Structure 1
């Protein structure tokens, strides 16, 4: 009685088990399948009873299964029996699915049967694939968000840098404005006062018909007007450079003729017994540069040489065309540039401390340097108080812009 009840209970457990349970004989033929196993594979019981278990397997296990079973029976070497592993099953409709298989060997009524316990992993695998896909999407989202944040951070850094540059530029412009106001109030006052005094004296000397004195003060007025004109030209040049509207226009011209005409023009404004000596070296005389920019550079350098040299001195102006370069230099025998001032020489509104009452805006050399840079050239100087100052401009002949047409 107890045995019968136990048998009924065991049968009920097998019939209601969630996992599939299959038994096969020693030749691999199906003897029983519980409802869960039938449901998992999509068959009715009568369709499978007596058929080889391989019908529930996809390739390559389908053709290899009988060999596995025979190998175990001959050698006792276990592949699945007594172990559990993940395999794939083949449903009636041809679809495949993953399941965990555990196989046990049972001695029953003088024969061996094998029982397989099947746990369908489809939902777990779907969940796993969903989680994997979700993880990948999440990683992509995090990566994109990270890129977005990095981009935003980069833009913020760039905005900060631009703001700092703008702030520094504003500070620089404010310093330049202060220097300009200070310089302009001084540099304009001197020639204007001179012009005003000369005009008063001319009026006085006209009453006495003193022509010599009238001419003398007319010359002073002309000189003062020239100074004011020079200051205004410097401001105009600086404004154009700051606006970025200055660009070189190259043409081929005779540097000897150009320099001789410039020397003759500058000689008219020299001090007493100051002489400008010009000489040229090299067999060539044509250069390919911007005449206007070069003229402004050399006029500024020659004006400085005249201004900072004493009377009865020589100013040497030379040009040279060699294999690689055009080289132009202006050398004076003036007061020189103190060593401690040389590092700031090309800064706008900068003037060396030994210039004293000699008029000047402090813009000339800054403009010269920027004009030279526009023509892809270089500017160099050497100076000391005993031998004066020499400025040298050099331009590469091989420069694309300087290739003769």
Structure 2
């Protein structure tokens, strides 16, 4: 062979080898068929996709790699193109299905081109597997459907919740309206009861005092004893009425402290004298003040109520022949009020509930009381921006201390 011919053939051979290497190593499947639809070549990627070896398919009709109905229609597609020149899928990348050797199908994108080779036409098909894309699409579609279901469920749940909240709102509004009506009714009742009961109680108190006076010439201890019982019962009822009236005013927000300067020592001495008159036999209230100043800025009426309640408790829960210490102190920062007794004390288990309304310690027995006094004291103290503390031991007495800030 002439040397110049060999030189010309070598590049052609190199190009053919390069093309073969590209086809053999392509990640997409490549199949060529003739004008009659018979397979002439198939690369390894296509063999892997269809699960065939080249010997299985070369020389056979391409329809063997197609599921129905494309397998039955392929020859018609090819004949139509050969006769009319109008392709069915040639040159168009479209999604079709392939048929594997095991009978399963898989989706792929097919691109077909016509090639003139050695004076004849062949068709080259590029096959790009879409299995993973379709699986991902299916997964996304399932997620989307599930999400739509969840959204629908949540929407229905939210709708039910909104309806329930609306119903609850209406019920609460109705309940609040009824509570408001009951509160107003309670307020009117407490005010009416306080007024209506005070009149006969005052009459009973006056009559008892007159009986005591008129019975003195007779010097009858039984009369004196029963008159004392009447006076004591009237005092207890009056205290109960006062406690309920004070609580009702607090609950209704009708108590507003009125701060102004007054003489704490003078007020305390008046309270001591007043409470000494209702003390038990040989009970002595010892008052002492500490500090060079005696003027404070508080609400005298609320403070008086607090002190009287605490001293009344000390009298009530202490025995005869005892001392009740009543101390006041004014320093640069605080006004301090302390009432200390040597009475029955408060059980440790009850101390955390002491300032709750209607709570009474378990060791009070038959000693009368409403359980409102300390609750009212704590609330009055809070209105005056003060704090109340206590120390107590059973059978060793109780000490209450109220601190009010000064010069603020």
1:328 has 2:337 as partner: yes
- Note if contact 1:202-1:213 (Cα within 8 Å) is conserved in structure 2: no
1:281 has 2:281 as partner: no
State TM-score, norm by structure 2.
0.51
1:10 has 2:78 as partner: yes
- Note if contact 1:20-1:117 (Cα within 8 Å) is conserved in structure 2: no
The equivalent position to 1:258 in structure 2, one of 254, 267, 271, is 267
The equivalent position to 1:102 in structure 2, one of 105, 111, 128, is 111
Deviation at 1:113, TM superposition (A): 8.6
Deviation at 1:102, TM superposition (A): 1.6
Residue 300 and residue 138 in structure 1: after superposition, are their counterparts in 2 closer, same or farther (change >3 A)? same
Distance 1:310 1:106 in 2: 124
- Note if contact 2:285-2:324 (Cα within 8 Å) is conserved in structure 1: yes
- Note if contact 1:346-1:369 (Cα within 8 Å) is conserved in structure 2: yes
- Note if contact 1:19-1:117 (Cα within 8 Å) is conserved in structure 2: no
Distance 2:163 2:77 in 1: 69
Deviation at 1:108, TM superposition (A): 2.5
- Note if contact 1:195-1:220 (Cα within 8 Å) is conserved in structure 2: no
Q: What secondary structure does 1:210 align onto?
A: helix
Deviation at 1:331, TM superposition (A): 0.7
Residue 9 and residue 234 in structure 1: after superposition, are their counterparts in 2 closer, same or farther (change >3 A)? closer
Deviation at 1:393, TM superposition (A): 1.9
- Note if contact 2:355-2:374 (Cα within 8 Å) is conserved in structure 1: yes
Give the aligned partner of residue 294 of structure 1. Answer: 303
Distance 2:352 2:365 in 1: 19
- Note if contact 2:35-2:122 (Cα within 8 Å) is conserved in structure 1: no
Q: What secondary structure does 2:400 align onto?
A: strand
Residue 350 and residue 245 in structure 1: after superposition, are their counterparts in 2 closer, same or farther (change >3 A)? same
Residue 12 and residue 315 in structure 1: after superposition, are their counterparts in 2 closer, same or farther (change >3 A)? same
Distance 1:244 1:228 in 2: 24
- Structure 2 counterparts to residues 165-314 of structure 1, below 5 A: 198=208, 205=214, 210=217, 224-282=233-291, 285-314=294-323
Deviation at 1:254, TM superposition (A): 4.2
Aligned length: 293
1:21 has 2:21 as partner: no
Residue 144 and residue 248 in structure 1: after superposition, are their counterparts in 2 closer, same or farther (change >3 A)? farther
State TM-score, norm by structure 1.
0.51
- Note if contact 2:286-2:324 (Cα within 8 Å) is conserved in structure 1: yes
Distance 2:240 2:335 in 1: 29
Residue 212 and residue 322 in structure 1: after superposition, are their counterparts in 2 closer, same or farther (change >3 A)? same
The equivalent position to 1:315 in structure 2, one of 324, 340, 350, is 324
Give the aligned partner of residue 70 of structure 2. Answer: none
Q: What secondary structure does 1:21 align onto?
A: coil
- Note if contact 1:316-1:331 (Cα within 8 Å) is conserved in structure 2: yes
1:209-236 alpha-carbon deviations (Å, 9 max, x no partner):
9387799687776555433322211121
Distance 1:371 1:258 in 2: 17
The equivalent position to 2:378 in structure 1, one of 345, 369, 378, is 369
Aligned-residue Cα RMSD (Å) equals: 5.8
- Structure 2 counterparts to residues 30-45 of structure 1, below 5 A: none
- Note if contact 1:250-1:289 (Cα within 8 Å) is conserved in structure 2: yes
Distance 1:364 1:222 in 2: 20
- Structure 2 counterparts to residues 47-126 of structure 1, below 5 A: 102-104=111-113, 106-109=115-118
1:226-255 alpha-carbon deviations (Å, 9 max, x no partner):
333222111212233344444444445443
Deviation at 1:387, TM superposition (A): 3.6
Distance 2:299 2:361 in 1: 30
Distance 1:291 1:228 in 2: 24
Residue 377 and residue 143 in structure 1: after superposition, are their counterparts in 2 closer, same or farther (change >3 A)? same
1:257-281 alpha-carbon deviations (Å, 9 max, x no partner):
4333333333333344433232333
Give the aligned partner of residue 390 of structure 1. Answer: 399
